[in-house]
Amino acid sequence: MAAIGIDYGTSNSEAIYFDGQQHHVIKLDPSQVSANKIRSSVFIYYDGELPRPENSLIEAKVVQLKGMISQQIDKAKDGYYEALTPERQQQCSDKIDQLRAELHNTSALQLRAIEILSEDMTVQDIPLHRLVETGQFAFGEEGFKRYLHTPEKGRLIYSPKNFLGANLIAGQHRAFVGILAKQLAFFRQSAEQQLQQQVDTAVIGRPVKFHGSRGEEGNQQAIEIMSEAAQQAGFKHVEFLEEPIAAAYKVESSLATPTNVLVIDIGGGTTDICCIKLSPEKLTSHDRQQDVLSVTGARLGGMECDKNLIVKSIAPTMGQGLLTQSGLPVPPAFFTDMCAVDDIPRLNRFFSEEYGLEIMQTKSIVNEPQLLERLLLVQEKKLSARLVNSSRLAKELLSSKPDIVLPLHYVEADYGVRISTDDLFQSMQSWLTKVKRLVTECLDKTSEPPQMLFITGGMSLSPIVQHALQENMLPHLPLIEGDAFNSVCEGLAIQAAKLAKKLNNN
């Protein structure tokens, strides 16, 4: 029996096995042979016909059809009493009998209701839990490419992790359990195929806070969803470990003496920080909570930077800032709603026909309607996730280039936006202020000051982030060199090996 560490991330996910000496990365995406990670997004789709409408919708439509038939019966009765000839009375009587037979033929009414509902039904009309129960799943690059080529065939859940602590409405809790169960089962099966042994134990990373406004209630809900999903996926033993603590376990093996380390983990969806006592003498200890001096976190990751960059540099080329004929600005919410890939109700509202009509009406009363036409194309073609992905790529390219022209040809032919590192810097300032505030909060809470600094997570590779934290805020702390992409998962794998040993000894 093997145990693996799973870093289930906002943007990407990873699984690693630690044999006590060496880490073994589980390849999760067959189309990305050289990559250790897989996109966390999931595309749920239908190759053929859409599923039968939900029973509640069918029943409501049957009631509506019965109401229409009852009205026809009443009209036929009026015709009977008003008829001037026996022949006309007989015709009305026959019509009444026919309508009554239709009224009481529930099976035929249900079939008619299904036919009517199916005529205009699209994937967007299918509730998420129903989509999860009846649709096909595509993960990683395969899923994202399917979404790019046929967005109308399914729905892309850009970042399932971002919803786990949110205030979920009826059916959504079950839906996200189902989504995670499919993903975790895929991870487990991949691990078993590559390790050639059964995998029944996992340590899964978790942010300090899953949701910004729901506090411990949101944390508990997220853990419940992940626990239930892991069980459905075939894991018998599961533990959760806060991601910055996992990263600390990875760097602990590189330390020669006991050291207090400040770990700053900036991922795609959250920023998590801890100050922890590390020591080579405790490498084999399983329970280390007593060594954690302070820990804090927030839903504040790289995805917020991606969306901020869109609002700063791309939205103005789509009509943001234009004035209508009455002198009022184009609603700024058009552009923040366009980016809301981590808010399903808000994104569904943006994709609705009513929202499209609102954009069209606004387009008719501005001086540069061609700009809002781009926004309308994003809305009509449901390109929000693709746009956020383009912004993420721009952010990564600007780490090594002073400026780029970001191609957006999928919106409009020959459409590109020039973005500079200064644009990126300006778009990140409010986000960086919040990150610094979290660092200060963690330092204020610790009973012993840190002696070294370790920065990890995808956003830690940004020169802007490195300059703000390492050079400006914490220049007095020696920096521990490490793997920004894999340290969390490698630490989770170390903890998984300890858990497996503990279970075997019991």
Q: Residue 138 corresponds to which tokens in the numbers above? A: 């595509």
Nearest to 251 by CA among 439, 25, 455: 455
Contact 222, 478 (CB under 8 A): no
**Could you count the other beta carbons within 10 Å of the beta carbon of residue 94?**
11
Alpha carbon separation from 128 to 55, 133, 156, 211, 243 (Å, rounded): 15, 9, 11, 20, 29
| Helix, strand, or coil (residue 47) | coil
Q: Supply the DSSP string of 322-351, one letter for each residue.
A: -BBTTSPBPPTHHHHHHT-TT-HHHHHHHT
Q: Residue 96 corresponds to which tokens in the numbers above? A: 């009444």
Kindly give the confidence (pLDDT) of every residue in the chain, 506 residues in length, as a single tens digit, with 9 standing for 90 and above: 899 999 999 999 999 999 999 999 999 998 887 778 999 999 999 988 888 888 888 888 888 888 888 888 888 888 877 777 888 888 888 888 888 888 888 888 888 888 887 787 888 888 899 999 999 999 999 999 999 889 889 999 999 998 998 888 878 999 999 999 999 999 999 999 999 999 999 999 999 888 656 788 888 999 999 999 999 999 999 999 999 999 999 999 889 999 999 999 999 889 999 999 999 888 777 778 889 999 999 988 999 999 999 999 999 999 999 999 999 999 999 999 999 998 888 888 999 999 999 999 999 999 999 999 999 999 999 999 999 999 999 999 998 999 999 999 999 999 999 999 999 999 999 999 999 999 999 999 999 999 999 999 989 989 999 999 998 999 999 999 888 889 999 999 999 999 999 888 87
Produce one character per residue of 121-160: b if its CB has 16 or more CB atoms within 10 Å, e if not: bebeebbbbbbbeebebbbbbbbbebbeeebebbbbbbbb
In angstroms, rounded to a whole number, what is the distance separating the alpha carbons of residues 326 and 341? 32
**Could you count the other beta carbons within 10 Å of the beta carbon of residue 315?**
24
Domain boundaries, the chain: 2-44+127-254+483-505, 55-121, 303-402
What CATH number matches the domain at 2-44+127-254+483-505, 3.40.50.620, 3.40.50.300, 3.30.420.40, 3.30.1300.10? 3.30.420.40
pTM of the model: 0.86
Nearest to 139 by CA among 41, 226, 31: 41
Alpha carbon separation from 7 to 36, 42, 354 (Å, rounded): 11, 16, 39
Contact 4, 13 (CB under 8 A): no
Nearest to 351 by CA among 123, 53, 47, 143: 123
